[in-house]
């Protein structure tokens, strides 16, 4: 979506850029007083290095700040929500909530990858949807909101996009482990994953995996790695077991 940045930015392209920034602000429900902070939060170092004339700043410093804000807000949330939970368990729970896969999962909810500014190399190798990048940008946006609107606005953003629907998010992130534990409760039950297809170029593969309980298909998933596809298949199986699964059209 940001390909126009690879060339000299004209009036029409600036309009396109502003429209995309408006769209993202609508999605996250926060209007920036200083949109340069949002642009910086979306700028990967590979893109900033290509735009030497513009001297663009990348998101790394904002990510550093956002990580600290996220840790503070999530710590307070867990402390208040779990008054009897010991320190060690709180630490473990916080780590699972703000780890790279968890933040990438949250980023996917708002299709954040579509808005990131990437250099040609990163674009070619599928960086737009790489978990390590989208999770960093999630933290950078938190840092940008904190600088632009203060801790309360950053807190609202974190509550809405990271600390909401925690039960379902934790179920997804630990789906393979949880499914294995559920299967082990059943006598003579065997869980296996079967790779049924792969597509796309080597730098941007898409894998499809089926999960079987003995010989019964219980879940299917797709992902950019076999592990991610297996996780999605396990998640679908768990939702079916809990009666929460609804086939997407």
87 is catalytic: no
- Locate 239 and state its tokens: 């939702």
22 is catalytic: no
96-105 in b/e form (b: 16+ CB < 10 A) is ebbeebbbbb
Query: Active site residue: 67, 136, 148, 236, which one?
Result: 67
Query: Active site residue: 50, 63, 139, 148, which one?
Result: 139
Active-site residue set: 67, 139
């Amino acid at each position: 979506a940001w390909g126009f940045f690879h060339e000299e930015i004209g009036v029409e392209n600036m309009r396109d850029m502003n429209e995309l920034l408006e769209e993202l602000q609508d999605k996250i429900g926060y209007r920036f007083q200083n949109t340069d902070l949002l642009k910086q939060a979306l700028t990967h170092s590979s893109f900033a290095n290509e735009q030497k004339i513009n001297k663009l700043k990348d998101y790394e410093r904002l990510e550093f700040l956002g990580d600290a804000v996220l840790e503070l807000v999530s710590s307070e949330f867990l402390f208040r929500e779990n008054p009897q939970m010991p320190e060690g368990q709180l630490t473990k729970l916080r780590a699972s909530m703000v780890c790279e896969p968890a933040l990438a999962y949250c980023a996917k909810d708002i299709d954040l990858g579509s808005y990131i500014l990437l250099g040609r190399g990163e674009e070619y190798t599928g960086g737009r949807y790489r978990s390590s990048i989208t999770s960093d940008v999630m933290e950078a946006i938190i840092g940008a909101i904190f600088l632009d609107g203060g801790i309360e606005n950053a807190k609202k953003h974190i509550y809405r996009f990271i600390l909401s629907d925690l039960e379902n998010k934790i179920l997804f992130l630990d789906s393979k482990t949880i499914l294995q534990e559920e299967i082990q409760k059943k006598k003579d039950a065997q869980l296996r994953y079967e790779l049924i297809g792969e597509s796309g170029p080597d730098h941007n593969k898409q894998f499809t995996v089926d999960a079987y309980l003995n010989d019964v298909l219980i879940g299917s998933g797709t992902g950019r790695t076999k592990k991610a596809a297996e996780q999605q298949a396990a998640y679908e199986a768990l939702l079916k077991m809990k009666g929460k699964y609804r086939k997407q059209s």
